[in-house]
Structure 1
Amino acid sequence: MGVEGGMKCVKFLLFIFNFVFWLCGLALIIVGILVQVTLHKNVMIKDAAASAIPIVIVVVGVVIFFIAFFGCCGAWKENYCMVTTFVVLLSVIIIVEIGAAIAGYIYRGKVTAIVQTSLSDMISKYNTTAEVAQAVDNMQKDLKCCGANNSTDWGKYMPDGNSVPDTCCVNITKDCGHGTMTDAIKVYQKGCNSAVELLLKKNIQWIIVAALIIAFLQIMGIVFSCMLMRGIRSGYEVM
């Protein structure tokens, strides 16, 4: 009876952990989408590498979502094959996550370079492409910044060399940016490069928290699954 009760406890713990794991997969999907939307809403990035991290997060979230559902069913039905498959798939996910973490660490400096290049490119095309102009204006209004590195990046915006788009202004009004490039009272002097990096760091903090929670749940899921598999294989009743 002691073993039976213990296996029954393991069964329900595995079910609960998988349910929470399922919720974490859903959370990862949401976080990945938010990071992707936030990044591309503010910066028109052409380099596909910049989208790699949020896309990987979404993909892992989707896979975890379905694997956790599979694990819940296996635990509830006490099906040895389903639980074994769950352990194998979960182990593969852990390996993929480790690889993604290593790749993210290796290429962490590339994101800054990509953002810098993209912002400079957007500013150079501001007067020629309406879509780019709209993206830059939205970015400067939302992040309260001006130019890529600072307001002087708008030196070629107007013939006078001393004007910036109105969206650089602290208080946005028509023609507020004319002749006020270096006026810190009227125009934001902070560049959008640092503002975008700060935005990314805030999102990354949420990603790290989610990753730590999911890593814990994954390890616990494998431990409880192996215990349940042993109980099922030994022929104990765990209903």
Structure 2
Amino acid sequence: MSLEGGMKCVKFLLFFFNFIFWLCGLALIVVGVLAQVSLHQTIKMKDLSASGAPIVIIGVGVLIFFISFFGCCGAWKENYCMVTLFSILLSLVILVQIAAAIAGYVFRNKVSAMVHDSLSDMISLYGNSSAEFKSSVDALQEQLKCCGVNGSSDWGDFRPDGISVPDSCCLNVSLNCGVRAMADAAKVNQRGCGPVLEELLKKNILWVIVAALVLAFVEILGVVFACCLMRGIRSGYEVM
């Protein structure tokens, strides 16, 4: 009788964990989409690996979203095949997440070069680009309170006078506030966007790595519960 009660507890714990996995999968999809949109709206990444990270997050989210469905149905109906498939697929997802966390840790060392190259391209193309492109560069500088790649002097070719910067570099943005104000710290942000963006990306990557490892630990518990339920079903115990 105690075993019957234990199996019933495992069944509902597995169902509960799968509901949590389902929410986590949905959250990963949303985070991945927002990250991808943010990258394209604020900075035009030259390195394709930057866009690869949000795509991986979306992919893992979609997998968890559908795998949790198998787990919920298998646990509720006590279907041995569905619970087995769930445990196998979830184990594969855990391996992918651990690999992605390791890749993210290694990738963070490339952030500096990636940011520098991408921002340099943005500045060099600013004068001959579309209004939408200019708007994305301006939004980046306004939001991060920065100017240029390493500093305001990076905008030396912005105008013929060599000492003007885009208005988005100003502390208080207004029309023509950046004219002949490149070195004026009272009007223009002197800190470059490179160090600011690099710090922001490294911080976000670290949080993603931590979240992936925590989620992997929770998923391991889900696999353990699935294996316990599989054993109970296979042994012919009534778990309802």
Task: Note if contact 1:4-1:237 (Cα within 8 Å) is conserved in structure 2.
Answer: yes
Q: Percent identity?
A: 65
Residue ranges of structure 1 left out of the alignment (5+ in a row): none
Displacement after TM superposition at 1:147 (Å): 0.4
Quick one: distance in 2 between partners of 1:164 and 1:218? 51
Question: How many residues align structurally?
Answer: 239
Residue aligned with 1:236, SS = coil
One-letter identity of the residue aligned with 2:193: C
Q: Contact between 2:104 and 2:209, CA under 8 Å: does it hold in 1?
A: no
Matches within 5 A, 1:53-202: 53-130=53-130, 131-202=132-203
- TM-superposed deviation, 1:70: 0.9
> Which residue of structure 2 aligns with residue 20 of structure 1?
20
The letter for the 2-side match of 1:145 is C
Distance change >3 Å, CA 202–CA 33, structure 1 → 2: farther
Which has the higher mean CA deviation after the structures are superposed, 187-196 or 83-92?
A: 187-196
| Unmatched tracts of structure 2, length 5 or more | none
Q: Which moved more, 1:33-42 or 1:85-94?
A: 33-42
Offset of residue 99 of structure 1: 1.9
Q: How far apart, CA to CA, are the structure 2 residues paired with 1:196 and 1:106? A: 18
Between the aligned partners of 1:173 and 1:236, the Cα distance in structure 2 is 74
On the 8 A contact 2:90/2:223 being kept in 1, the answer is: yes
Taking the aligned partners of 1:49 and 1:21, their CA distance within structure 2 comes to 27
Contact (CA 8 Å) 2:87, 2:226: kept in 1 or not? Answer: yes
Q: CA deviation at 1:111?
A: 2.7
Deviations 1:14-48 (A, max 9, x none): 00011011111111111112222222211011321
The 5 A counterparts of 1:3-42 are 3-42=3-42
SS at 1:177 equivalent: coil
Question: So what's the TM-score if we normalise by structure 2?
Answer: 0.94
Partner of 2:229 in structure 1? 228
Q: Pairwise CA RMSD of aligned residues?
A: 1.4
Contact 2:166/2:178 (<8 A) preserved = yes
Deviation of the 1:175 alpha carbon: 1.2
User: Is contact 1:162-1:180 (8 Å) kept?
Assistant: yes
Task: Judge conservation of contact 1:24–1:210 (CA < 8 Å) in 2.
Answer: no
**Secondary structure class of the residue paired with 1:90:** helix
Question: Any idea what SS the aligned residue of 2:32 has?
Answer: helix
